[in-house]
């Protein structure tokens, strides 16, 4: 008689337990066990509980291949799903195999679990394993289908009914609850402050602060005090929520109508623009990508989006200051160059138009397209092509205008631009001082890369193993096809030949879905919650004259009361830390049981922990700490 002891773990989330009957059948190379009822009247299947059961067989089952887990279709209690985390099977000889499950099971549902070391398809020695692998992918491909988002845009998940997605992949119950609670709380507050439908404009910045400013963070308070400062304006291009537009300028674009005389007063004594460009002290932000986008009508007025150009100077005190702004791509008599020496309200207004362009760029390109939509492509490709036993699976404006902006953004999204070393080098920002995004992003990339460099060769010891893994090849082909529309110029590979290629690509996928998202997501409320610093819409066209504006002009240009209140509320909801957040490098789901892989995860966590200490120490000496890429704040993947 062979006896197997099973430790069955129920998930620790709310409502994970059940009172229903469960049946397990163990399948080995030498035969199958009895179909065994696990439940002692359901009492052991409460949330977070580990129940221990025994499964027997007349003869040894040989090497364990699969575990079949069934939920009884009939029961008197009301229907409730059960979340099974994992089942650990022990033999009399104390050999242990973990069968990860991490699935919600409905009444009558059956799942087939695989245990042990991760395998590639060609390593599945037994026909039953190969068969189960094929069936798992067939089922996944029926659930997760690609859908064309829009012409010229990447593909997304075809989803008619969110409830058709398996519950373990949906928003968690706790997150959905917290999100809904926050939304209701914000709505009530906006109503109370009279901000729900008010088309009125603010009378003063003090009034704006007094009424709309009901959520605060230390950083957002700093922003509300410093948003008019040139120094802070320049700082944000490096360490705000969108450090992706600025680049070194060694030659002025032909359409940026600046003369030496215009900017000379703002450069070091006796210096010239040409000399400062040669020294590498001149930088530019160019929002050409916004040119000619159709915009919405807000309160009877057509909103404007400004394809602005802004020139910045790194002064001898190492401060990055704006020295000229042109609010449009085509130079003309109406398209003036604004300078720091202009009337205070003219200069401030010009900077607000740049902040507006930068905020739109951040939300649509840097945030939505280059993290959310790309991560969706990576996820769909993973779910469709890699079975759970696969090694990689385990690591884990107006509508037309918006779409056009996303299309333009996608056409400029290259493999190199998604890898921070190459991205920063291409923009000539390797040595600009006080660029904390760069410092943290490069260190994070290196830490993730070291982890991937350890774990990938453990499963792929040679290049031939990479090229022979057809599941892996289909995975990257789908990303190339559906995420980058077969654009060879993107540099995204359509297949992998070497272990090295695979390591770089997996590093990019992890970095994009965790660190890069944190860089654009975490600071949204901090930097943009004070609406004048990050308006998503403006009510007037860019000024075409100088000397005629005032603070009243600025207040009339900024979003009205209800737009400002709503934007602030949404940014708050998106930026807070949710209770079920999982930090980078932590794997609550125990999918690995190989000691070598577990050690690699521990090393990865230790590296992240050291980086946390280093960032905290650096931040202690900064007037404005850069916290967006602290590993303790970065989530393992995108959740909001």
In the complex, the residues that contact Fe ion under the rule CB under 5 A are 521
Query: Minimum Å distance from CB 75 to Fe ion?
Result: 40
Q: 615: helix, coil or strand?
A: helix
Query: Minimum Å distance from CB 579 to Fe ion?
Result: 17
Bridge partners of residue 247, in order along the sequence: 284
Residue number with CB closer to Fe ion (219 or 571)? 571
Residue number with CB closer to Fe ion (345 or 639)? 639
Query: Minimum Å distance from CB 638 to Fe ion?
Result: 6
Residue number with CB closer to Fe ion (387 or 534)? 534
Query: Minimum Å distance from CB 375 to Fe ion?
Result: 9
Query: Minimum Å distance from CB 86 to Fe ion?
Result: 30
Residue number with CB closer to Fe ion (541 or 574)? 574
Report the alpha-carbon distance of residue 257 to residue 333 in Å, rounded: 11
Q: How many CB atoms lie under 10 A from the CB of residue 580?
A: 15
Residue number with CB closer to Fe ion (220 or 388)? 220
Instruction: Assess contact for 381 and 479: CB atoms under 8 A.
Output: yes
What residues contact 289, with CB distance under 8 A and at least 6 apart?
307, 361, 365, 405, 408, 409, 412
What residues contact 2, with CB distance under 8 A and at least 6 apart?
56, 57, 58, 59, 60, 61, 91, 92
Instruction: Assess contact for 201 and 555: CB atoms under 8 A.
Output: yes
Bridge partners of residue 583, in order along the sequence: 635
Residue of closest CB approach to Fe ion: 521
Query: Minimum Å distance from CB 517 to Fe ion?
Result: 6
Query: Minimum Å distance from CB 83 to Fe ion?
Result: 26
Query: Minimum Å distance from CB 368 to Fe ion?
Result: 8
Q: How many CB atoms lie under 10 A from the CB of residue 422?
A: 14
Report the alpha-carbon distance of residue 255 to residue 468 in Å, rounded: 51
Query: Minimum Å distance from CB 640 to Fe ion?
Result: 6
Report the alpha-carbon distance of residue 280 to residue 526 in Å, rounded: 30
Nearest to 339 by CA among 235, 269, 262, 405: 262
Residue number with CB closer to Fe ion (220 or 329)? 220
| Token digits of residue 339 | 């300078």
Report the alpha-carbon distance of residue 350 to residue 324 in Å, rounded: 9
Instruction: Assess contact for 362 and 522: CB atoms under 8 A.
Output: no
| Token digits of residue 223 | 């922003």
How far, in Å, are 369, 418, 445 from residue 422 at the CA level? 19, 8, 12
Residue number with CB closer to Fe ion (140 or 524)? 524
Instruction: Assess contact for 424 and 442: CB atoms under 8 A.
Output: yes
**Torsion over CA of 87, 93, 95 and 96, rounded to 10 degrees?**
20
What residues contact 125, with CB distance under 8 A and at least 6 apart?
none
Query: Minimum Å distance from CB 235 to Fe ion?
Result: 23
Query: Minimum Å distance from CB 260 to Fe ion?
Result: 43
Residue number with CB closer to Fe ion (21 or 413)? 413
Residue number with CB closer to Fe ion (21 or 521)? 521
Residue number with CB closer to Fe ion (242 or 521)? 521
Report which DSSP code applies to 480: I
Q: How many CB atoms lie under 10 A from the CB of residue 576?
A: 17
Strands 320-326 and 337-338: antiparallel
Residue number with CB closer to Fe ion (101 or 365)? 365
Query: Minimum Å distance from CB 473 to Fe ion?
Result: 30
- In three-state form (DSSP H/G/I as H, E/B as E, the rest C), the secondary structure along 26-78 is EEECCEECCCEECCCCCHHHCCCCEEEEEEEECCCCCCEEEEEEEECCCCCCC
Residue number with CB closer to Fe ion (19 or 578)? 578
Report the alpha-carbon distance of residue 9 to residue 322 in Å, rounded: 58
Query: Minimum Å distance from CB 591 to Fe ion?
Result: 25
Residue number with CB closer to Fe ion (33 or 521)? 521
Query: Minimum Å distance from CB 59 to Fe ion?
Result: 54
Residue number with CB closer to Fe ion (97 or 402)? 402
């Amino acid at each position: 008689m062979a006896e197997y002891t099973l430790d069955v773990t129920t998930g620790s989330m709310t409502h994970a337990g059940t009172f229903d009957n469960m049946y397990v059948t163990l399948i080995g190379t030498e035969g199958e066990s009895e179909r065994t009822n696990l439940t002692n009247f359901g009492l052991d299947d409460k949330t977070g509980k580990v129940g221990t059961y025994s499964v027997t067989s007349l003869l040894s089952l040989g090497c364990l291949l699969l575990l079949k887990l069934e939920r009884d279709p009939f029961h008197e209690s009301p229907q409730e799903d059960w979340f099974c985390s994992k089942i650990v099977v022990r033999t009399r000889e104390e050999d242990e195999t973990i069968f990860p499950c991490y699935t919600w099971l409905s009444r009558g549902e059956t799942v087939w679990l695989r245990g042990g070391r991760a395998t590639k398809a060609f390593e599945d020695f037994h026909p039953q394993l190969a068969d189960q692998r094929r069936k798992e992918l067939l089922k996944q491909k029926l659930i997760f289908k690609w859908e064309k988002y829009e012409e010229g845009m990447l593909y997304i998940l075809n989803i008619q009914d969110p409830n058709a997605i398996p519950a373990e992949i949906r928003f968690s119950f706790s997150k959905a609850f917290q999100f809904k609670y926050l939304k209701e709380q914000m709505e009530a507050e906006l109503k109370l402050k009279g901000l729900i439908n008010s088309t009125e404009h603010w009378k003063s910045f003090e009034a704006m602060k007094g009424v709309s400013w009901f959520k605060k963070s230390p950083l957002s308070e700093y922003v509300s005090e410093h948003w008019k400062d040139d120094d802070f304006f320049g700082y944000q291009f490096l360490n705000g929520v969108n450090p992706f537009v600025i680049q070194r300028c060694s030659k002025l674009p032909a359409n940026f109508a600046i003369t030496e005389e215009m900017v000379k007063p703002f450069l070091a004594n006796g210096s010239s623009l040409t000399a400062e460009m040669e020294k590498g002290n001149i930088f530019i932000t160019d929002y050409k990508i916004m040119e000619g986008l159709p915009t919405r009508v807000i309160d009877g007025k057509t909103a404007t989006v400004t394809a602005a150009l802004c020139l910045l100077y790194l002064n001898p005190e190492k401060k990055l200051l704006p020295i000229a702004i042109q609010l449009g791509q085509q130079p003309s008599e109406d398209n003036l160059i604004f300078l720091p020496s202009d009337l205070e309200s003219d200069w401030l207004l010009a900077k607000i138009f740049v902040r507006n362009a930068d905020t739109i760029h951040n939300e649509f390109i840097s945030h939505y397209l280059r993290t959310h939509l790309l991560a969706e492509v990576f996820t769909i490709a993973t779910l469709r092509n890699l079975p759970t036993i696969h090694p990689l699976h385990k690591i884990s404006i107006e509508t037309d205008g918006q779409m056009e902006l996303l299309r333009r953004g996608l056409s400029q999204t290259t493999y190199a631009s998604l890898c921070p070393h190459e991205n920063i080098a291409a923009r000539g920002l390797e040595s600009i001082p006080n660029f904390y995004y760069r410092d943290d992003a490069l260190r994070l990339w290196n830490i993730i890369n070291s982890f991937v460099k350890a774990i990938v060769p453990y499963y792929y010891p040679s290049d031939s193993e990479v090229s022979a893994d057809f599941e892996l090849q289909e995975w990257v082909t789908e990303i190339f096809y559906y995420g980058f529309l077969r654009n060879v110029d993107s540099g995204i590979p359509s297949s992998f030949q070497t272990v090295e290629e695979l390591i770089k690509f997996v590093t990019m996928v992890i970095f994009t879905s965790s660190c890069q998202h944190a860089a654009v997501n975490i600071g949204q409320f901090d930097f943009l919650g004070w609406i004048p610093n990050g308006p998503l819409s403006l009510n007037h066209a860019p000024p075409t004259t100088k000397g005629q504006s005032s603070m009243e002009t600025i207040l009339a240009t900024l979003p009205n009361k209800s737009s400002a209140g709503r934007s602030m509320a949404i940014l708050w909801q998106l930026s807070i830390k949710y209770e079920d957040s999982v930090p980078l490098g932590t794997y609550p789901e125990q999918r690995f049981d190989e000691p070598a892989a577990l050690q690699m995860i521990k090393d990865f966590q230790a590296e992240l922990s050291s980086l946390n200490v280093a960032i905290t120490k650096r931040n202690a000496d900064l007037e404005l700490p850069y916290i967006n890429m602290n590993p303790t704040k970065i989530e393992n993947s995108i959740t909001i």
